[in-house]
Structure 1
Amino acid sequence: MSTQATTAARGSDRRAQLVAAATTLFAERGYESVSVEDVAAAAGVTGPGVYRHFEDKQALLAEVVLAGVGHLEQRSAAALAPTDPDQVAAPAGGEVTALLAELVALAVARPAAAVVWRWTGGHLAPADQREVARRAHALLTTWGDVVRVQRPELSAADAELLCWAVMSVLGSTTVHRTRIGSARARDLLRAAGGRVLGVQPGAAAPTPPLPAPAWTPGSRREQILEASSRLFAERGYHAVGIDDIGAAVGIAGPSVYRHFPSKVSVLVAVCQRAAERLALGVLDALRVGRDAHDVLRRLVGSYVDALLVSPDLRVGMSTDRAAVTGADREGLRRNQRELVAHWVWALREVHPELAAADAAVLVHAGLTVANDLARTRSVAGRPGLRAELVALVLAVLDVPSAQA
């Protein structure tokens, strides 16, 4: 190999290392909380070394996102390519099974590929946003068409809902640190994805939207929290300034500091409110649940209600939480661990054959389905969304649906 070719190969390898490092960091922390220096350190290069390959962080993000979409496209094409040139049509369900197996394998091998493109697209340049949206829409359409071959009774919108839910099951591998063997992870996620694809959207009676609080917070502190929660959910924590928060409650921005020492302390308080709401739901489920099945259904129902009635939980489950550090971060993690522990306990009561780690993987997958779909615009307006979210989460957990 010539010196020039060797240099080009090394440059290509370094670029790939940077993309891999950035993919992991963006998925774990969120785009705004990751610096070029963070990516450089993770890839084992200096900060200036990144700029030899990418103009700026946004250009690096574009390659990360498009690479993730590309991996999904490649795996989909591999799954749907006919293996027999004389084959006229795939056996019923065969394409769905093959597609799910390929996507699960990708999720286990490249966890961030299934999520980065969904939650960082707003930071892309407009041309890159359009390209990602075009390719993502084509993927979802292809997957929905495959599902509808097996389930022709589904509408295109219903099939899309199920495909989004499967994507969330796959993307859940990035939101927790539970470690199990790759083969076992593939088995669990493939089975959970299959159950999701068997859900009948709209089977439960549509429930009216949960009402927003009819009261106006009396204290200025609560007014600030209400406004901040809404703004953080709509724009993201980093895009909201103190002046924005102040304007939303009719005060000057610096006046917010009379009630909170910093913007991050406002974020912490929003997350704590969400945790308190969830804790009340857990206590209620444990108090009135008739058995483990009923407790688990109530846990799922109360979680979905918390997601839909207030933006607090959507903020608390987003990557914006990475802005919280030190003891506050540990407190939020402890709240989440306690919530997961209750779900894991109930799930193992229902399925005693599950190891604790296996149950935790399924619980995180179910929570991710609810978290993701509650903020996915293409499905958020469905009239029966509350019942559908409950049914989808219960399907992930392999628990029969009932009124939650």
Structure 2
Amino acid sequence: MTRDDQILKAAEELFYQRSFDGVGVDEIGQAAGVSGSAIYRHFEGKNEILETLFDRAVDALLMGLPDPNDHPHDELRELIDSFVQFAQTNRMLASIWEREHRSLREPYRRRHQRRLRQYVERWVDCLSKCYPGWAEGRLLVAIRAAQALMMSDATRPGRGSSRDVGGLLSAMALRSFEVLDSPPRSDTQLGM
């Protein structure tokens, strides 16, 4: 394991346990077996460490993307399953990625959003085919809500989860999109 990897592993564990704001560079260094000042030989600071962890999350999501499918509902199931797989196999990283978005500072935030756009566009494209007529903004809301559901087990405190929780989360997420089967309605018709 390289020194960068040791630092990232230590930071991931500490950010997961105590949050980005709850951890200092010296603590990351100590957990990685180096001095806090030695961190700066590898990273510009805590923000770059967080950005690197976010890059790893996006890399895992992009690598897990299924091949495009001529059957959009099958593709949606595959997108859901790959997202649940990401959350279940990368619990700490998924939890940090989910809850620390506001901690990411510029220019890292802009770069992360640019990288993530490719992943989100794949979801929007698939949902547009499955449920035509919905505005992109509404589809983005549905995607964020379903992804929060799929992350719910990974972001809860505690160790591990039952083996069958991934299937349950996938099924719940798939069913949550069924609300889009109805034609788009105004916010007042939706009770908002």
**Do they fold alike, i.e. is TM over 0.5?**
yes
Look up the equivalent residue of 1:235 and give its one-letter code. R
**Bigger share in helix:** 1
2:117 maps to 1:337: yes
Q: What runs of 5+ residues in structure 1 fail to find an aligned partner?
A: 1-217, 400-404
| Structure number with larger C-alpha Rg | 1
- Which consecutive aligned stretches of 4+ in structure 1 deviate over 6 angstroms post-superposition? none
Give deviations 1:207-236, integer Å, cap 9, x for gaps.
xxxxxxxxxxx2111121122112211210
Q: Specify the code of the residue in structure 1 equivalent to 2:80.
A: V
Alpha-carbon offset, residue 274 of structure 1: 0.5
After superposition, residues 233-248 of structure 1 pair within 5 angstroms as 233-248=16-31
Q: Residue 94 of structure 2 contacts residue 155 of structure 2 at CA under 8 Å; is this kept in 1?
A: no
- Aligned residue for 1:317, secondary structure, equals helix
The match for 2:56 is: 273
CA contact (8 A) 1:271 1:313 kept: no
Query: Is 1:313–2:98 an aligned residue pair?
Result: no
The superposition leaves residues 188-217 of structure 1 with CA deviations (integer Å, 9 ceiling, x where unpaired) of xxxxxxxxxxxxxxxxxxxxxxxxxxxxxx
Q: 2:87·2:151 contact (CA, 8 Å) conserved in 1?
A: yes
1:380 shift after superposition: 5.9
Which residue identity does 1:305 align to in structure 2? Q
In the other structure, the counterpart of 1:348 is: 128
Query: How far is the alpha carbon of 1:265 from its aligned partner?
Result: 0.8
- Residues 153 and 161 in structure 2, CA contact (< 8 A), matched pair in contact too: no
Q: Within 5 Å, which residues of 2 pair with 1:145-184?
A: none
Say whether the 8 Å CA contact 1:229–1:312 is kept in structure 2: yes
Q: Where do 5+ consecutive residues of structure 2 fail to align?
A: 180-192
RMSD between aligned residues: 2.2
Q: Contact (CA 8 Å) 2:87, 2:94: kept in 1 or not?
A: yes
| Counterpart AA for 2:95 | R
Which residue type is aligned with residue 87 of structure 2?
L
| 1:178-197 mapped onto 2 (5 Å cutoff) | none
User: Aligned ranges for residues 106-145 of structure 1 at < 5 Å?
Assistant: none
Query: SS of the counterpart of 2:174?
Result: helix
Aligned residue number for residue 77 of structure 2: 297
Q: How much has 1:347 moved relative to structure 2?
A: 1.2
Q: Matches of 2:41 and 2:137 in 1, distance apart?
A: 45
SS at match of 1:325: coil
Give the conservation status (yes or no) of the 8 Å contact 1:348–1:354.
yes
- Equivalence for 1:324: 104
Mapping 1:46-85, distance limit 5 Å: none
Q: Does residue 360 of structure 1 match 2:140?
A: yes
Given residue 167 of structure 2, which amino acid in structure 1 is its aligned partner?
Answer: A
Query: Of 29, 33, 41, which aligns to 1:258?
Result: 41
Cα distance between partner residues in 1 of 2:42 and 2:169: 36
| Cα shift at 1:243 | 2.2
246-255 or 231-240: which moved more? 246-255
CA distance in 2, matches of 1:378, 1:322: 23
Cα pair distance change 1:240/1:379, threshold 3 Å: closer
Percent of pairs with identical residues: 28
Distance of aligned partners of 1:313 and 1:376 in 2 relative to their CA distance in 1, 3 Å threshold = closer
Partner AA of 1:257 in structure 2: Y
3-state SS of 2:163 partner: coil
Aligned pair partner of 1:386 in 155, 158, 166? 166
The offset of 1:275, in angstroms, is 0.8
Q: Secondary structure, in 3 states, of the residue corresponding to 1:326?
A: coil
The code of the aligned residue for 1:275 comes to V
Query: How far apart are residue 379 of structure 1 and its match?
Result: 10
Cα separation, partners in 2 of 1:374 and 1:220, compared to 1, 3 Å = same
Highest relative contact order (Cα 8 Å, sep 6+), 1 or 2?
A: 2
2:5 aligned partner, one-letter code: E
Deviation at 1:267, TM superposition (A): 0.5
Change (3 A) 1:263 1:350: same
Structure 1 position 374, deviation (Å): 2.1
Q: CA 1:242–1:280 in 2, change beyond 3 Å: closer, same or farther?
A: same
